[in-house]
Amino acid sequence: MISETIIGIRFDECGAHGIVHHSHYNHWLETAQFDLLKKHGTDYVSLLNEGYYFPMIRLGVDFVTPARLGDEVCVRLSIKELGRVKIVFAYEIVRTSDQRLIARATSEHVFLNREFKPADIKRAFPGLYEAFLAYVQD
96, 6 Cβ separation under 8 angstroms: yes
Tell me the pLDDT of the chain (138 aa) as tens digits.
999 999 999 999 999 889 999 999 999 999 999 999 999 888 888 889 999 999 999 999 999 999 999 999 999 999 999 999 999 999 999 999 999 999 999 999 999 999 999 999 999 999 999 999 999 987
Could you tell me the domains of the chain? 3-133 (3.10.129.10)
Q: What is the pLDDT of residue 138?
A: 72
Residues 6+ apart with CB under 8 A from 71: 8, 9, 95, 96, 97
CB-CB contact of 135 with 39 (8 Å): no
Q: Are 125 and 42 in contact (CB under 8 A)?
A: yes
Contact by Cβ (8 Å): 5, 67: no
